[in-house]
Amino acid sequence: MAQERTVWGMHAGKTGDAETLFERQGVIAIGWKDVGDLSPLKTRDDFKGAVARTYPDKKPGAIRNNAGQLYRFVHELAVRDVVVFPLKREREIWLGEVTGAYEYNAKLDPGYPNLRRVKWLKRLPRTKFSQGALYEIGSAMSFFQVKNYADEFLLSLIHISEPTRPY
């Protein structure tokens, strides 16, 4: 299948602490709250500088990694892209579609102020996906592009006979 939409993986914090925010508010969100509003930052170097200033003890590799995730969340993630979100509290994978541009909103959850609106489309058990797909979305990063198994996740959105839980 030719991939028509970009697929992204999203985690809700190390302990899944943002899962409720994702579910109740229809968003995905990324932390780095101390960096503040990311909308004035335009280039990768802007993001690297902001992360380095905010977290002066971070190693250069960690600064590049963090800045890259933030840059992609703000500037590469697009409306209609697909988000794959593995829950920690349940053995489910949520699939959604990005519906909004980047927003900074510390009122929804001060720990996760950088967000994008999402329409959750399906909730499927992890057992519906191959082990390779599960490994890929088990990334240590908070936000990442799904490349190797993107088609598997896209197909799960159009496969009508899969059971889903309504929202």
d(Cα 72, Cα 112) in Å, to the nearest integer? Answer: 16
Alpha-carbon span 73 to 30, nearest angstrom: 8
pLDDT band at 2 (very low <50, low <70, confident <90, very high): very low
By the 8 A CB rule, do 139 and 9 touch?
A: yes
Q: How confident is the model at residue 140 (pLDDT cuts 50, 70, 90)?
A: confident
Output the pLDDT for position 3: 53
Strand, coil or helix: 46: helix
Does the predicted model carry a pTM greater than 0.85?
yes
**Residue 159 has what pLDDT?**
65
More confident residue, 17 or 100: 100
Question: Nearest 10 degrees: CA dihedral of 8, 9, 12, 15?
Answer: -170
pLDDT in tens, 57-78: 999 999 999 999 999 999 999 9
Per-residue pLDDT tens over the stretch 23-47: 999 999 998 999 999 999 999 999 9
Q: Is there a contact between 93 and 10 (Cβ–Cβ < 8 Å)?
A: no
Bridge pairing between strands 7-10 and 82-86:
parallel
108: DSSP letter: T
Tens digit of each residue's pLDDT (9 = 90 or more) over 82-134: 999 998 888 899 999 999 999 999 999 999 999 999 999 999 999 999 999 99
Strands 82-86 and 27-30: what pairing? Answer: unpaired
The pLDDT of residue 158 is above 50: yes
- pLDDT attached to residue 1: 44
Predicted pLDDT at 17: 79
Residue 89 pLDDT: 80
- pLDDT value at residue 109: 92
